[in-house]
Structure 1
Amino acid sequence: MTAVTKSENFPNDEQPRKKPLWTTIILAGQRPEGDPMAAYCNVKYKALIPINGQTMLERVTRALLASPDVGNIVIMAQSPEDLQSGLTPDLAGHDSISYVASSDGIATSVHHVIGTDIAPWPVLVTTADNALLTAEILDCFFERHSGQDVAVAVVERKTMLAAYPDARRTWLKFRGGAYSGANLFALHNEAAKPAVAFWSSVEKDRKKGWKIFARFGPWLLLRALSRTISFKGAMSDAGRRMALRAEPIILPIAEAAIDVDKPDDLELVTGILERREG
């Protein structure tokens, strides 16, 4: 058998580089006064709401562990030790999972750890109430990520309504479509840090897209309000003003944009998981 030299496999004598694994931060905290959904379900922490035999935090963690693109997982909350005790033993002591106490603001807490030994680049941020997260959704997101410094997963309204016509979501409306967030945020490198700092300054307005775009000046706000700019165009414009590349990643999976913020959501998610898991 004739040996194949390295240069025949790789003409430039370069070995193929493996993509780095993503560190994932799961935001599992809640307001100091407690969370309405936790109270509704009679549990101390929203992340520990059980759905069809597993807590939401367990579901999100297992989906991440099933992804070949995810490395370490950081669970961030005000009292991470309480969440650790609420996980099954195989997750609570998993080598890939660590726990970090969050400070007053979510974005500030994330800003402190990204790019450090705790959460090395690239970083994916998700939430504990993202109970329908699957390896399939993650695969789709990572496949469509093309090196953007900041990327935000969204689902188009037509995709959602085709699958769940009665679903109520918060929609960001732009030229060409309306979009709902899917609780996946890619922070690819050091260039993403200004976006996280900006997130910290607008955290209280995260459900009001117009207030966020107003921070970038009247022209971008006017175009967003009049829907004369696409979502991708608006994010790209905002990103350029922070000297970074920012884009939405549109997912074709309706369930990606269904989290658990209210009792109706819990009922919908429970029904989906019961059908999915038999």
Structure 2
Amino acid sequence: MSADVRRFNALILAGSRGGVDPVATYAGVSHKALIVLDGETLLARVAQALQEAGARTIAVSVSDDSVRAAANALGLIVLDAASGPSRSVRDGVEALGAPLLVTTADHALLQPEWVTRFLADVPLQADVGALLARQDVIEAAAPGTRRTYLRFADGAWSGCNLFYFATPRSVAALDLWAQVEADRKRPWRIVRRLGIGTLLRYLSGRLTLVAAIAHLGRLAGLDAAAIASPFGLAAVDVDKPADLDLVRTLVEKA
């Protein structure tokens, strides 16, 4: 990937799914994007990592007034969060264009080199790319962490909350993303969308993650790529109080 392609715009998802967020409650803040870690909010940490990775423009999708104020104070573009992440990303692509890197405000440990390595590894012809890490890589970096894994022939994988929408037509992946969001805890239902032959390959343990993502992309008329991260901590976000305890411990050790 050429150096100019690595210049990108970025979107941080910081909306709310509604109801009480147990992580925010645990930390004593109104939204987990405002949790302070090593003297900075999670939102500020993520924004700084994206800026250092080369992001030209950074926007935040928000639904909380306190997060809106924090984003404004950081000089970030503020977009109103939609009803779900996939719709918010669509709005982000419309506002910022492509290429667009998407991540989340709870990606507390995000490092610039994770982003630049991801972008370098996305094939030039890909319309969209997703970063994932294998279970053994994650557990080597964060022993004992509990993640949600998708199990395929080439290992058990967890998402890293980093997505790259390289071309304008990559928005076609968002309808599929909305469907996957609903089934993310039930990978067999995700695979079922690929057709009976692919489902049988999955159930028999012969379907690889790379093949599954590529086939999902073809169903949407896109070239989609699953990128393996060598950084196990890239899969650690702050979804539950135990995750927050973990990242606090990791930062203190660092």
TM-score by length of 2: 0.92
State the Cα deviation string for residues 159-180 of structure 1 (Å, max 9, x = none): 1122223111111111121111
Runs of 4+ with >6 A deviation: none
What does residue 121 of structure 1 align with? 98
Q: Does 1:82 align with 2:59?
A: no
Amino acid at match of 1:105: G
Deviation at 1:249, TM superposition (A): 0.7
What does residue 47 of structure 2 align with? 61
Partner Cα separation in structure 2 for residue 20 and residue 141 of structure 1: 10
SS in 2 for 1:227: coil
State the Cα deviation string for residues 63-90 of structure 1 (Å, max 9, x = none): 111112x1111100113x4214235xxx
Mind listing any 5+ residue stretches in structure 2 that lack a counterpart? Answer: none
What does residue 103 of structure 1 align with? 82
SS in 1 for 2:96: coil
RMSD: 1.8
Partner Cα separation in structure 2 for residue 134 and residue 141 of structure 1: 11
Q: 1:233 aligns with which of 211, 224, 228?
A: 211
Q: Is the 8 A contact 1:73 1:98 kept in 2?
A: yes
Mind listing any 5+ residue stretches in structure 1 that lack a counterpart? Answer: 1-15
Q: 1:155 aligns with which of 133, 141, 155?
A: 133
Q: Is the 8 A contact 1:131 1:260 kept in 2?
A: yes
What does residue 20 of structure 2 align with? 34
What's the % identity of the aligned pairs? 36
| Counterpart mapping for 1:77-226 below 5 A | 77-79=62-64, 81-86=65-70, 92-94=73-75, 97-114=76-93, 116=94, 118-147=95-124, 148-226=126-204
SS in 1 for 2:53: coil
Amino acid at match of 1:92: A
How many residues align? The count is 252
Partner Cα separation in structure 2 for residue 149 and residue 220 of structure 1: 22
Q: Does 1:264 align with 2:249?
A: no
Partner Cα separation in structure 1 for residue 211 and residue 3 of structure 2: 31
Q: Is the 8 A contact 1:156 1:250 kept in 2?
A: yes
Q: Is the 8 A contact 1:159 1:252 kept in 2?
A: yes
Deviation at 1:193, TM superposition (A): 1.4
Q: Does 1:19 align with 2:24?
A: no
Deviation at 1:93, TM superposition (A): 4.8
More relative contact order in 1 or in 2 (CA 8 Å, sep 6+)? 2
Deviation at 1:20, TM superposition (A): 6.1
State the Cα deviation string for residues 225-270 of structure 1 (Å, max 9, x = none): 3221111011111211221111111111111011111121111101
| Counterpart mapping for 1:234-253 below 5 A | 234-253=212-231
Partner Cα separation in structure 2 for residue 241 and residue 65 of structure 1: 34
- When Rg is computed on C-alpha atoms for both structures, the one with the higher figure is 1
Partner Cα separation in structure 1 for residue 136 and residue 253 of structure 2: 22
Amino acid at match of 1:72: T
Partner Cα separation in structure 1 for residue 97 and residue 83 of structure 2: 22
Query: Which deviates more, 30-39 or 178-187?
Result: 30-39
